Amino acid sequence: MPLFVLGFVIGGFLGARKAKALGGKAADMAQYAAGYGIAFGLVGFLVAVVVTRLSS
For 41, the domain range is: 3-55
Indicate whether 1 pLDDT > 80: no
Average pLDDT, the chain: 94
Instruction: List the Cα angle 50/36/52 in 5-degree steps.
Output: 10
- Residue 32 to residue 56: CA distance in whole angstroms: 36
Q: Decide if 11 contacts 34 (C-beta within 8 A).
A: no
Indicate whether 44 pLDDT > 80: yes
What is the domain count for the chain?
Answer: 1
Check residue 47 and give its pLDDT. Answer: 94
pTM, full prediction: 0.88
Q: Residue 19 — very low, low, confident or very high, per pLDDT cuts 50/70/90?
A: very high
- 26 SS3 class: helix
